[in-house]
Amino acid sequence: MIYGAMKFSIGGSLKLAFRPWVEGLENIPARGPAILASNHLSFSDSFFLPAVLDRKVTFIAKAEYFTAPGVRGKLTAAFFKGVGQLPVDRSGARGAGEAAVKAGIQVIGSGGLFGIYPEGTRSPDGRLYRGKPGGLARVALATGAPVIPVAMIDTEKIQPPGQVMPKLMRPGIRIGEPLDFSRYHGMDGDRFIQRSLTDEVMYEIMKLSGQEYVDIYATAAKRRIADEARRRSEDGKRAQKQAHAKDAGDSDGTDRTGA
């Protein structure tokens, strides 16, 4: 009931304001379990996709959204529960992975749609990054559920980092045909099979989205970007100090030409 109310109010508002276009809705089964594997460009991805589907989609979200203190924290927790998010503690990488797999298996076991972002985090620059096999592949291999590739398009342009007000524009959603991995039955513990399955799904997402593919994890790319930003900041501060030192030397009349 809460999900239905949220979908009517929030989903209806999103569709009215942004008018997202959709291709491939016929690839979503009317009933029965399936895994929706999507690229991840924006925080809003988890809202636009459910807004255009008739069925409920369950994603996982970091546990902090459900445990924040105060009235605002309770409202945030109620919101995420209402839109079908499941809390996962990401304080430990291994524990988080196990929790995500268990959550996915539980959703699939109940005949639902489980939404997952194989990249593990939002793309830092709009490109498509290498998928992590731990969640997607393990859930798919453990349950035998079909994997439906999904491409979110232009959602990152609606509210780029640092922009307070969202830009009213039309994002897009392309939904591919279900992928059957029954040929890997009984091989869910094989890391090479997990990698192969994940790469196949990422290739389909790349074809749907038209994104440039980068064969590293998005988390590693974010670290590189942060390190580069830190170095630029340090270089800027160093140059500023040198300029101040030079100005101080010039002002006291010191001749630095050697004449």
- Confidence at residue 83, expressed as pLDDT on a 0 to 100 scale: 67
Task: Say yes or no: 189 and 226 in one domain.
Answer: no
Contact 130, 202 (CB under 8 A): yes
Is 131 among the domain residues? yes
Task: Say yes or no: 42 and 88 in one domain.
Answer: yes
Task: Say yes or no: 224 and 156 in one domain.
Answer: no
| Torsion on CA atoms 104, 41, 167, 54, rounded to nearest 10 | -30
Task: Say yes or no: 222 and 161 in one domain.
Answer: no
What is the extent of the structural domain holding 142?
Answer: 2-214
Ramachandran area for residue 115 (φ above 0: left; ψ -120 to 50: alpha; else beta):
beta
Task: Say yes or no: 158 and 243 in one domain.
Answer: no
How far does the chain reach from its first CA to its final CA, in angstroms? 85
Is 203 among the domain residues? yes
Task: Say yes or no: 143 and 206 in one domain.
Answer: yes
* Separation CA 135–CA 195 (nearest Å): 11
Among 199, 159, 158, 154, smallest CA distance to 174 is for 154
Task: Say yes or no: 162 and 242 in one domain.
Answer: no
Tens digits of residue pLDDT in 203-241: 999 999 999 999 999 999 999 888 888 888 887 787 778
Tens digits of residue pLDDT in 145-162: 999 999 999 999 998 777
Domains contained in the chain, number: 2
Task: Say yes or no: 173 and 247 in one domain.
Answer: no
Segment 162-167 mean pLDDT: 80
Backbone angles phi, psi at 244, to 5 degrees: -65, -40
Task: Say yes or no: 245 and 187 in one domain.
Answer: no
Task: Say yes or no: 28 and 147 in one domain.
Answer: yes
Is 70 among the domain residues? yes
- For residue 151, the domain's CATH number is 3.40.1130.10
Is 259 among the domain residues? no
| pTM for the whole structure | 0.83
Is 54 among the domain residues? yes
Tens digits of residue pLDDT in 7-36: 667 778 888 899 999 999 999 999 999 999
Tens digits of residue pLDDT in 78-99: 767 766 677 776 655 555 678 8
Is 258 among the domain residues? no
Segment 123-148 mean pLDDT: 94
Is 200 among the domain residues? yes
Task: Say yes or no: 137 and 194 in one domain.
Answer: yes
Please tell me which residue, 177 or 56, carries the higher pLDDT value: 177
What percentage of the chain exceeds 70 in pLDDT? 84
182 pLDDT above the threshold of 60? yes
Q: Which of 46-60, 94-108, 134-148, 191-205 has the lowest mean pLDDT?
A: 94-108
Contact 41, 192 (CB under 8 A): no
What is the average pLDDT value for the chain, to the nearest integer? 86
Q: Which of 50-59, 192-201, 250-259 has the lowest mean pLDDT?
A: 250-259
Task: Say yes or no: 164 and 48 in one domain.
Answer: yes
